[in-house]
Chain A
Amino acid sequence: MAKDAKPRVKVPKSAAAGEVVTIKALISHNMESGQRKDKDGNIIPRSIINRFTCDLNGANVVDVTLEPAISTNPYFEFDAKVDAAGEFKFTWYDDDGSVYEDTKPIAIA
């Protein structure tokens, strides 16, 4: 597991049925590009988050492929239409095989 990888997610506590809500998701991660060299001239191996997904009650909302040019602590902001109460599930996939998850409930007001 990459050092200090930690997700943060912001989802409204409730929404009207059919409302489109804005979701913010960030993860602290170095996003080492694989292009840099260390002091001895050796290439520092690539270590990035390569995929991010968000699901609402099992239905996919976004599925993003990340590339090495994306900077440290990648941040996503996107909209989702909420038809029923349930749970958002966020998943980040690391190059090193680690998977970071977070969930947030949403109620219908």
Chain B
Amino acid sequence: MHSRTTRNLAAAAALGLALAGSAGANPVDETLEVTTDDGTITLTTTAPAPDHLKDAFDTIYSGWHYRDTETRNMERDDFDNPGMVFVDIAREKWDAAIGKNGESCAGCHDGPESMAGLRAVTPRVDATTGKLMIMEDYINTCVTERMGLEAWGTTSKDMKNMLALIALQSRGEIVNVAIDGPAAEYWAKGKEIYYTRYGQLEMSCASCHQDNAGNYIRADHLSQGQISGFPVYRLKDAGLVSAQQRFVGCVRDTRAETFKAGSDEFKALELYVASRGNGLAIEGVGVRH
């Protein structure tokens, strides 16, 4: 029942005090200010729930609010954020002539800054193909069609590094994925998956991230399952984890045969989960346990 109290924003400040000495199960009431090379920026990590989610939550929280103090602090400084190493690696890749005929990302797109804003509106239905595209699809379209290479694995290092670089260009921008028009059918499919119980444990995404957000499942503090911080540096894995990869991990934890990363099912799910975070800021590369 702890989570219910957080639905009252007015009570949130008082709650923060009450939690100081306890094993607090609720999202911490703090602000995420990040020290970057270009000064300090403040990221929107709480917001009123989008309309379609009003029945479940009044307020949406980035997963950052559910992590330990040390983990939260790592995300507050770009140097302390271990994910930034992978951004640097991707930046070199961006400029490198890796294509069959010497093409590079920079050759067409100039600097990675040209990707600003993209992360906040994907997944989206692509205007030319009419298909639901996640960021990985966009990257692989370039890799295969423009560069003439074998597609990168959905959860390969090259792919996740590039996801991080592109996401960082949209840091601070507010998630606003379209759920109507051509996206509506994909969104509905994603929503169905979100509320479907899978696996021997018969758990849906909602079992943990909606019904029990803020509670503990053993030692894990359940967040609302927002993906605005993804890709994240996960301390447990000492590496980057993409949303697609996390979906695989979650469904596997229900003791189910999972959909594959990059499958139509998980693309639809990513659109739906992203839409639950409409209103939160893209964090670039988050840091999680």
Contact = CB atoms under 8 A, between A and B. Distances in A.
Contact of B238 (A6, A24, A71): A71
B238 A8 contact: no
A15 interface: no
Q: Which of A4, A24, A72 has the most CB of B within 10 A?
A: A4
B82 A4 contact: no
Given A24-B80, A71-B238, 14 more contacts: A4-B89, A6-B85, A6-B89, A6-B92, A8-B84, A10-B79, A26-B82, A28-B85, A28-B86, A28-B89, A73-B82, A73-B85, A73-B238, A75-B82
Contact of A6 (B80, B82, B88): B88
The main secondary structure of chain B at its interface with chain A is helix
Contacts of B246: none
A8 B86 contact: no
A8 B85 CA distance: 7
B157 interface: yes
Interface string A71-94: 111010000000000000000000
Interface of B: 79-80, 82, 84-86, 88-89, 92, 157, 238
B266 to A, nearest CB: 27
A26 B85 contact: yes
Contacts of B79: 8, 10, 24, 26
Contacts of A4: 89, 157
Contacts of A72: 238
Nearest to B84: A8
25 contacts: A4-B89, A4-B157, A6-B85, A6-B88, A6-B89, A6-B92, A8-B79, A8-B84, A8-B85, A8-B88, A10-B79, A24-B79, A24-B80, A26-B79, A26-B82, A26-B85, A28-B85, A28-B86, A28-B89, A71-B238, A72-B238, A73-B82, A73-B85, A73-B238, A75-B82
Interface in A47-73: 71-73
A8 B86 CA distance: 11
Contacts of A24: 79-80
B83 to A, nearest CB: 11
Contacts of A6: 85, 88-89, 92
A28 B164 CA distance: 15
A28 B80 CA distance: 13
Contacts of A73: 82, 85, 238
A72 B86 CA distance: 13
A103 to B, nearest CB: 16
Nearest to A25: B79
Interface string A12-49: 00000000000010101000000000000000000000
B160 to A, nearest CB: 12
